[in-house]
Amino acid sequence: MSSTRATLLVTLTGPDRPGVTSTVFAALAPHDVEVLDVEQNLVRGQLTLGLLLDPSSSTAEVEATLRTKADELGLAAAIEHGQGDNRARRSGRVSVVVLGRPVRAGAVAAVTHSISEHGANIDRVRRLSRDPVTTLELDISGADVPRLRRELALVATAHGVDIAVAPGGLARRGRRLVVMDVDSTLIQDEVIELLADHAGRGAQVAAVTESAMRGEIDFTESLHQRVAALEGLPVTVFDEVRAAVRLTPGARTLVRTLKRLGFTVAVVSGGFIEIVGPLAQELGIDHAHANRLEVQDGRLTGRVEGEVVDRAAKATALQRFAADAGLPLSRTVAVGDGANDLDMLAIAGLGVAFNAKPVVQQQADTTVNVPHLDAVLFMLGISREEVEEADLLDETTMPDRGSLRPRPEEEARPEGSGDESTDAHPPAAGDAAP
């Protein structure tokens, strides 16, 4: 279309009802109008319908028809004469997700001001979720991801919201690999502390764990100290601990949704494959990598078999899983909470600090500071409504107590209360591929 050809930009606003859009276009049909662009939004029953039209030679008749039809529908009509199509979008398409409980006007003002100061443009905004967290996704053009991440990280800290900045466009779509830490991420517990409780040394081990997660002492050294406290425990303790493990609220929903999308899901843990393997199998997770405890004569020796799964090993596992899936690192997401997760968070395309220690929040690409693991879905641009619809279509879906999307009509065990599948034997190596 010629850039000098006359066009009409039409904005209709007012109360929504079924058939508004079809009525408007039916009225335009006899004029043989060319539709160049349409955008429609609905906020609490109030409709905004934007149309960019090429009215050909009947501009006056088209405008009169639109105003008459708007009056009949109880809509306000703003019509602007212009020339040509929309301006081409600039390169540098970026998605900015803002999550909070609540999201206040000051936070939105700060985010949008920072985007403007960056020199980028906000092309579209949509809401991904409302309750119990509000999530907004902003479609941006003309932005640089690393620089905008740094700038919006300051806004997130100042206004108490979580903000994720990621490449948009095609980079937002397609398969991904999502790799999660286990203790205090996929589950609410620290498995080694549950084991130590059975040896009467829970408080002693918990203190060392906390220091290691803050990055104050070397993880490998801390693990050997803590495992030594387990010496003499019978292997039957694994069954007891597996039954006691509590999934993080939203864990089932997160994994289930990622698998529906065709994503590869993996867990890497500084914990133990004896617990992590069966848990991964229960949830349908593709890969599990963790330490293995040495056993002699049916009792723990207080030692670990093979090399320790430390922060470097976690990053290596992520790279291996990505290669197995045929995905570049830019298509990977890592989720963790402790200092031993920093290497994998750094190399992933998107590193998410989940209710993490301060040192991890400072270095991750984004944070999630609500107690729902499925909030990670929103950071990937997946809306609550999309997940709910998929759950309703799948009658075999297991409920997820504590999820952002609970199904109140379902009755089932609370997360982490045990499951028949947890008595499955993990594989002999430190990796499990259920």
The string of pLDDT tens digits covering residues 107-119 is: 999 999 999 999 9
Residue range 156-179: mean pLDDT, rounded = 92
Looking at the DSSP bridge assignments, the partners of residue 96 are: 138, 165
Asked if residue 431 lies in contact with residue 280, where contact means CB atoms within 8 angstroms, the answer is: no
- Dmax (CA) of the chain: 92
Token pair listed for 430: 């430190």
Residue range 331-358: mean pLDDT, rounded = 96
**Which residues are catalytically annotated?**
181, 183
Instruction: Identify the three-state secondary structure at position 147.
Output: helix
Q: Does residue 149 carry a pLDDT above 80?
A: yes
Asked if residue 63 lies in contact with residue 69, where contact means CB atoms within 8 angstroms, the answer is: no
Q: What is the pLDDT of residue 284?
A: 96
Bridge pairing between strands 94-100 and 162-167: antiparallel
**Any idea where the domains of the chain sit in the sequence?**
6-83, 94-173, 179-183+247-291+306-432
Q: Does residue 395 carry a pLDDT above 50?
A: yes
CB contact burial 286-295 (16+ within 10 A = b; e otherwise): bbbbbbbbeb
Assign 426 a pLDDT band (cuts: 50, 70, 90).
very low
The dotted CATH code for 6-83 is 3.30.70.260
Q: What is the pLDDT of residue 392?
A: 82
Domain 179-183+247-291+306-432: which CATH number of 3.90.1150.10, 2.30.180.10, 3.40.50.1000, 3.30.360.10: 3.40.50.1000
Residue range 328-347: mean pLDDT, rounded = 96
Helix (H) or strand (E) holding 41: strand 34-43
Residue range 128-135: mean pLDDT, rounded = 92
The residue type of 19 is G
Q: What is the mean pLDDT of the chain?
A: 88
Residue range 36-62: mean pLDDT, rounded = 90
Q: Does residue 1 carry a pLDDT above 70?
A: no
| Per CATH, domain 94-173 is 3.40.190.290 | no
| Structure-derived torsion over alpha carbons of residues 104, 110, 116, 120, reported in degrees to the nearest 10 | -70
Q: What is the pLDDT of residue 58?
A: 84
Q: Which of 211-215, 239-243, 294-298 has the lowest mean pLDDT?
A: 211-215
Query: Which of 44-58, 119-133, 309-323 is modeled with the greatest confidence?
Result: 309-323
Q: Does residue 221 carry a pLDDT above 50?
A: yes
Q: Does residue 429 carry a pLDDT above 50?
A: no
Whole-angstrom distance, CA of residue 161 vs CA of residue 125: 17
Instruction: Enter the pTM of the model.
Output: 0.82
Q: Is 179-183+247-291+306-432 the same fold as 94-173?
A: no
Q: What is the pLDDT of residue 32?
A: 86
Tell me the CA end-to-end span of the chain in Å, nearest whole number: 55
Whole-angstrom distance, CA of residue 366 vs CA of residue 360: 10
Q: What is the pLDDT of residue 172?
A: 84
Mark out the alpha helices in 29-135 (DSSP H runs).
59-73, 105-118
